[in-house]
Structure 1
Amino acid sequence: MYENLTEKMIESKQVYDGNLLKVYCDKVELPNGATSTRDYIKHNGAVAIVPIFPDGTVLMERQFRYPFHRVVLEIPAGKIDPGETPLEACVRELREETGVVAKEIIPMGELYPSVAYTDEVIYLYIAKDFTFGENDLDDNEFLELERIPLETLVEMVMNNEIGDAKTQTAILKAYNIENRK
């Protein structure tokens, strides 16, 4: 299916191996038989969680994002460690960043944040019925937590006050799921 659109890898070369990602430059055969190169990033994947309190507020994070040189409002999220399932990463990241231990975790599906140049998949979740313990931030991680009503977050997404794609998608999906009940 879609043979007229499919490219075939001829050769693959890793050009960068970092802590977070790996960069490749592949030579491919195009559907018309010509060849081209494709530069792309391999990523272990990530999780992103919308922790919703019984009163409808969501636990959000503010943290400085170096590539944008500014503080960004986001939902809790993080990368999947090697050998870890997305659900295990969800539980770990939520506890590490916020101290939250959730009794109910609802999967919302997958997000492909930038299909043109990375194979990263972000698994989206809602967390509910939680307790707070101690967080366990990485030594290079600094963030502030804030509770914001889900409806307000939807307005912020629609008014371009939240620019992070995973946060936009997860907030809108969570709002839709919560309002179907």
Structure 2
Amino acid sequence: MQKHGPWQIVQSQEVYRDPWTAVRKDDVIRPDGQPGTHTVVTIKPGVCVLAMDDEHQVYLTEEFHYGVGRTTMEAVSGGSEPDEEPLLTAKRELQEELGIEADDWTDLGIVDPFTANVVSPTRLYLARKLAFGDHAPEGTEQIRCLKIPLAEAVQNVIDSHITHGPSCVLILKTALLLG
């Protein structure tokens, strides 16, 4: 048996794996002493990037996301390749999705979008001093670039027009950082 906080793992079994996701089923002893099961989904670590120009205009993506079944507005985001440093992932994703390169990067920490049963740490970055070029989205992506004032992005978070958790945290942290 393995201790896991106030839980005890009796047995753990991987029930699914693909290049992005793994699902594990744990037979456990719950904190109240009763037997149970707990399922954990692990998604590879990722990044979320908010590109902002000198006029405090931010560059967001508008894209249909299969999981939620609708078009969303959010900051650039994506998963890290194995052994890839988060900043390199951030630079790659910003260029691929919006064709933007940045000379100034601010690390705004990590967010865990879900904590009860999903492991998916996401590193947050603010990218400034921007240069614009051609984007190269992946075959699964049809991305439209949206340029809006940071204040409007904050209002979109407040009004639930932006619902992607890491994007919400990143936009609000950026607004607080800039005062």
Q: Sort the TM-score into its range (normalised by shorter chain).
A: over 0.9
Q: Which amino acid aligns with 2:14?
A: Q
> Does residue 28 of structure 1 match 2:28?
yes
Structure 1 match to 2:66: 66
Structure 1 pair 106/64, CA: closer, same or farther in 2 (3 Å)?
same
User: What TM-score, normalized to structure 1?
Assistant: 0.91
- Is 1:4–1:31's contact at 8 Å kept on the other side of the alignment? no
Counterparts of 2:160 and 2:96, CA distance in 1: 28
More strand per residue: 2
Q: Which amino acid aligns with 1:49?
A: V
Structure 1 pair 176/6, CA: closer, same or farther in 2 (3 Å)?
same
Q: Flag structure 1 segments of 5+ consecutive residues without an equivalent.
A: none
Note the C-alpha offset of 1:43: 1.6
> Does residue 51 of structure 1 match 2:35?
no
RMSD: 1.7
Note the C-alpha offset of 1:88: 1.4
Aligned length: 177
Note the C-alpha offset of 1:68: 2.2
> Does residue 156 of structure 1 match 2:156?
yes
Structure 1 match to 2:171: 171
Q: Which amino acid aligns with 1:149?
A: P
Counterparts of 1:143 and 1:163, CA distance in 2: 17
Structure 2 match to 1:94: 94
Identical amino acids, percent of aligned pairs: 25
Q: Secondary structure at the match of 1:161?
A: coil
Note the C-alpha offset of 1:169: 1.0
Q: Secondary structure at the match of 1:90?
A: helix
Q: Secondary structure at the match of 2:118?
A: coil
User: What TM-score, normalized to structure 2?
Assistant: 0.92
Q: Secondary structure at the match of 1:59?
A: strand
